[in-house]
Amino acid sequence: MTLLRTAPPTAIFGMLVLAATLLTGIFAPLVAPYGETEIVGAEYLPWSAEYPLGTDNLGRDMLSRMIYGARNTVGLALLTTGIAFGLGAALGMFAALKGGWVDQILSRAIDVVMAVPPLILALMLLAIIGPSIPNMVGVIAVIYLAPVYRLSRAAAMNVVSLDFVDAAKLRGEGTLWLLRREILPNISSTLVAEAGLRFCFVFLFIAALSFLGIGIQPPTADWGSMVKENATLITFGDVTPLIPAGAIALLTVSINFIADWMLHRASGLKS
C-alpha cells in the first residue's frame, strides 16, 4: 500500500487501466452482454442501448467482442512475452555467465535470427509448422527472444563482473542459482522496462500477421484482428475500428507508464 501511495498519477492511471483490462478479461463471460461469436443482429448496426458499440461486419456485438478480445489479446500477448522473456533472459544471462564458446555460439545463432526480417521469418515458420495458436505463440516468442537475449546478455555482462557473483561462485553455487538469484534480480528492472514495449509489439505483430492472412484463428475475438477486420471502414470516416485501436493504444500507454515508474524506482534504489 505504501508502494501505491508513492506512485505518480501516471502509474496509478496505468495500473487502473491494466487492472480493469485484466478483470474484464478474466470475467469476460460474466461481463459481456452477448457471446463471443454470437450473431445478434444485422451488420454494422449503429450504437444503441441494445448494442452499446454497435455490431460488426457479421452482426456480432462489438462490445462483447471487445470484452472477449481483452481476454484473448492480453492473454496471448502475456503468454508470448512471458516465454520470450523467460527464454531470452535465461539464455542471455547464461551466455554472459559462461562466456567463451558458449557465448559465441549463442550470440551468433541469435545474430542469424535477427538478420532475417521478422515478418518473413514468421510467415515462413508458420507456413512450415502450421498456423495454430500454440505455434504462433512459439514463433513470435522465438522472434522476440532475440532482442531480449541481447539486452539481458548486455545487462548481465555488467553484473557478472561484480564481486558478489565471484563470491557466489566461490561458495560453489550452481549455474541455476547464479542465474536466478544473483544475476536475474539485478537485471530485472531493465527487463521490465523493455517488457512494457515488447508486450505491445507482440500484439501489434499478431495484428500484422492477421493483416497478411495468418494470425489468430477466427472467430476468436482479438483486438489486433478486430482493427484489421474493420480497418477499411476508417477511410470512410467510420469510427468502429478506432475502438479496438484505441484500446490497444490505451493499454500500451498504461503499461509503459507502469514500466517507467518501476524503472524509476529501481534506479532510485541503486543510487
Here's the x/- map for another protein, 51-70, by CB under 8 A: it reads as: ------xxx-----------
Is 126 a residue that touches another protein (CB under 8 A)?
A: yes
Is 1 a residue that touches another protein (CB under 8 A)?
A: no
HEC-encoded secondary structure of 198-265: HHHHHHHHHHHHHHCCCCCCCCCCCHHHHHHHHHHHHCCCCCCCHHHHHHHHHHHHHHHHHHHHHHHH
Shortest gap between Cβ of 161 and another protein (angstroms)? 9
Shortest gap between Cβ of 250 and another protein (angstroms)? 8
Shortest gap between Cβ of 216 and another protein (angstroms)? 8
Shortest gap between Cβ of 270 and another protein (angstroms)? 7
Shortest gap between Cβ of 195 and another protein (angstroms)? 14
Q: Which cell numbers hold the place of 140? A: 513470435
Within residues 231-250, the interface with another protein by CB under 8 A covers: 231-238, 241, 245, 248-249
Within residues 166-205, the interface with another protein by CB under 8 A covers: 166-173, 181-182, 185-186, 197, 200-201, 204
Shortest gap between Cβ of 220 and another protein (angstroms)? 9
Site stretch for another protein (CB under 8 A), options 16-24, 26-34, 83-91, 122-130: 122-130
Is residue 53 a contact partner of residue 66, using CB atoms and an 8 Å limit?
yes
Task: Count CB-CB contacts under 10 A for residue 79.
Answer: 16
Is 127 a residue that touches another protein (CB under 8 A)?
A: yes
β-partners of residue 61 are 55
Cα 148 from Cα 95, distance rounded (Å) = 13
Considering the complex, state which of residue 15 and residue 208 has its C-beta at the smaller distance from another protein: 208
Give the relative orientation of helices 9-26 and 242-270 as an angle to the nearest 10 degrees.
130
Is 213 a residue that touches another protein (CB under 8 A)?
A: yes
Is residue 13 a contact partner of residue 62, using CB atoms and an 8 Å limit?
no
C-beta pairs of 40-49 under 8 Å, 24+ apart in sequence:
44/240
Q: Which cell numbers hold the place of 111? A: 545474430
Instruction: Pick one of 86, 117, 176, 180: the residue that binds another protein (CB under 8 A).
Output: 117
Is 88 a residue that touches another protein (CB under 8 A)?
A: no
Is residue 249 a contact partner of residue 194, using CB atoms and an 8 Å limit?
no
Considering the complex, state which of residue 24 and residue 210 has its C-beta at the smaller distance from another protein: 210
